[in-house]
C-alpha cells in the first residue's frame, strides 16, 4: 500500500506535542512492513490551505497513492483515494477556548463526514466523537513514547550533577527542594493555576518548599499565572524555563521529582508517558484523557480543589512505583502505533 501522510506539522508551526507525534510516528511507519509511507508537505512559501485542498489531491493522483493520512483534523476534502483524519480533542466541551474556534469545530463536526476513518488517541475522546456524525468511523489509535530515550536519561549518574548545575541541589540531599515540572504550562489549557494553588495550599500547611519548573515561551497568558504566583506568595518557588529542545526536555523530565499534567482538556497527554518512561510520577486530573493514559498509575486529583492538589503533591513525592510506570510506558511504542495505523489502512483499502 502506498499511502501519503500529511507531514505539514514538521515544516509549519504546530504545538510541540503534535510535532513529536508526527516525527516519531513517521519514523516508525517508514520502518513498517507492508506499507509505503510517503511524506507530503508544503514548500516554504506555499499557502497551507491551498496546498492541502488543491496541491495534495494532485499529488495523490501523480504518485498513485491509495489515500492520504492527516495527523490533524484538517485534510484534503476533494480528490481521489481514501482519507484518514485525526481529531485529538474537543476542547470546547471542556470550557477551553484554545483550538475551539469555528475552524476547528468545522473539521470535527462537519468535515469529519468526508473522512473514511477518524482516529483519536484515547477512549476518552472516542466517546465524545461517537456522539457526533462520525460515530461509526471512529477508531482508537494510542500514541507512543521513546521509552529508551527517557529511561537512559533517568538512570544517568549525570542527573545529580545536572540538578546541582541548575541550582536545584542533588536529589538525595535532604535540604534540596522537590521539583515538579509543568511541561508546556504557559498555555491556558494546561491549567498551571491549579498546580500553583495546590502549591500555595501545601505551603500554608507548613510543608517543605517545592520548585515548580514551567516550560514554554512566556506570553500574555503565562504572565497572568506569574501574577497569580505573586498573589499566592509563591513567586520564588516558580521557575520559567522558556522553550526546551528535545535534549533539555529529557533532562528536565529525568531530573524532576514529578510531573504535572492538570490540563482542562487533553486528547492524550504525551508528557504522562514521557514521565513514566523515566520512572517519574505524574499529577493528572480525574476523569481525563491523561488519567486514562496513566491507567491508575497517575496521582489523580480534582484540579478545582487546591486541597486535593496539595494532597496529590504529597502523594506524588512519596510515590515509589517507578518500575511499574516504566513497564506501562513500554507498551506504548511508536512501532505499535505505526502497526495500528497500517492495520486501519488495510481496513479501508
What are 225-278's pLDDT values in tens digits? 999 999 999 999 999 999 998 888 998 898 899 999 999 999 999 999 999 999
Average pLDDT (130-148) is 92
Region label for 219, one of left (φ > 0), alpha (ψ between -120 and 50) or beta (otherwise): beta
Average pLDDT (128-148) is 92
pTM above 0.85, yes or no: yes
Average pLDDT (314-339) is 95
Which band of pLDDT confidence, cut at 50, 70 and 90, is reported for residue 209? confident
- Per-residue pLDDT, 255: 85
CATH class of 2-144+333-348: alpha beta
- Per-residue pLDDT, 166: 64
Q: Do domains 2-144+333-348 and 147-330 have the same CATH topology?
A: yes
- Per-residue pLDDT, 177: 84
What percentage of the chain carries pLDDT values higher than 90?
82
- Per-residue pLDDT, 23: 96
- Per-residue pLDDT, 172: 47
Q: Which CATH superfamily is domain 147-330 in?
A: Glycogen Phosphorylase B; (3.40.50.2000)
Which band of pLDDT confidence, cut at 50, 70 and 90, is reported for residue 197? very high
- Per-residue pLDDT, 161: 61
What are 150-189's pLDDT values in tens digits? 876 555 545 566 567 666 665 544 467 889 999 999 999 9
| Long-range contacts, stretch 22-30, CB < 8 angstroms, 24+ apart | 22/71, 24/144, 24/146, 24/334, 25/71, 25/143, 25/144, 25/334, 25/337, 25/338, 25/341, 27/334, 28/144, 28/333, 28/334, 28/335, 28/337, 28/338, 29/5, 29/338, 29/341, 29/342
Separation between Cα atoms, residue 89 and residue 268, nearest integer Å: 8
- Residue with more model confidence, 86 or 16: 86
Average pLDDT (184-203) is 96
pLDDT at 56 over 80: yes
The domain locations on the chain are 2-144+333-348, 147-330
pLDDT at 117 over 60: yes
Amino acid at each position: 500500500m502506498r499511502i501519503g501522510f500529511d507531514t505539514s506539522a514538521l515544516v509549519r508551526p504546530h504545538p510541540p506535542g503534535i510535532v513529536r507525534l508526527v516525527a516519531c510516528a513517521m519514523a516508525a511507519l517508514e520502518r513498517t512492513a507492508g506499507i509505503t509511507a510517503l511524506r507530503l508537505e508544503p514548500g516554504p512559501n506555499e499557502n497551507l490551505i491551498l496546498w492541502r485542498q488543491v496541491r495534495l489531491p494532485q499529488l495523490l493522483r501523480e504518485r498513485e497513492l491509495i489515500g492520504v493520512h492527516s495527523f490533524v483534523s484538517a485534510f484534503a476534502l476533494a480528490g481521489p483515494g481514501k482519507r484518514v483524519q485525526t481529531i485529538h480533542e474537543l476542547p470546547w466541551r471542556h470550557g477551553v477556548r484554545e483550538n475551539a474556534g469555528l475552524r476547528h469545530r468545522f473539521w470535527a463536526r462537519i468535515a469529519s463526514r468526508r473522512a473514511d476513518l477518524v482516529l483519536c488517541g484515547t477512549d476518552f475522546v472516542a466517546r465524545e466523537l461517537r456522539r457526533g456524525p462520525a460515530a461509526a468511523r471512529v477508531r482508537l489509535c494510542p500514541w507512543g513514547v521513546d521509552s529508551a530515550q527517557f529511561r537512559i536519561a533517568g538512570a544517568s549518574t549525570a542527573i545529580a550533577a545536572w540538578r546541582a548545575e541548575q541550582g536545584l541541589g542533588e536529589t538525595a540531599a535532604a535540604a534540596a527542594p522537590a521539583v515538579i515540572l509543568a511541561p508546556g504550562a504557559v498555555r491556558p489549557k494546561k491549567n498551571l493555576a491549579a498546580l500553583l494553588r495546590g502549591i500555595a495550599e501545601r505551603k500554608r500547611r507548613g510543608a517543605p518548599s517545592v520548585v515548580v519548573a514551567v516550560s514554554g515561551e512566556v506570553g500574555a497568558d503565562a504572565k497572568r499565572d506569574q501574577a497569580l504566583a505573586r498573589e499566592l506568595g509563591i513567586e520564588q518557588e516558580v521557575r520559567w524555563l522558556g522553550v526546551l529542545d528535545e535534549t533539555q526536555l529529557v533532562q528536565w523530565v529525568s531530573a524532576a521529582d514529578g510531573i504535572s499534567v492538570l490540563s482542562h482538556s487533553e486528547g492524550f497527554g504525551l508528557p504522562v508517558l514521557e514521565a513514566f518512561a523515566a520512572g517519574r510520577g505524574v499529577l493528572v486530573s480525574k476523569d481525563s484523557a491523561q488519567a486514562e493514559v496513566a491507567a491508575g498509575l497517575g496521582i489523580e486529583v480534582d484540579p478545582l480543589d487546591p486541597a486535593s492538589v496539595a494532597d496529590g503533591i504529597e502523594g506524588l513525592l512519596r510515590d515509589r512505583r517507578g518500575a511499574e510506570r516504566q513497564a506501562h510506558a513500554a507498551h506504548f511504542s511508536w512501532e505499535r502505533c505505526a502497526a495500528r495505523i497500517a492495520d486501519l489502512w488495510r481496513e479501508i483499502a
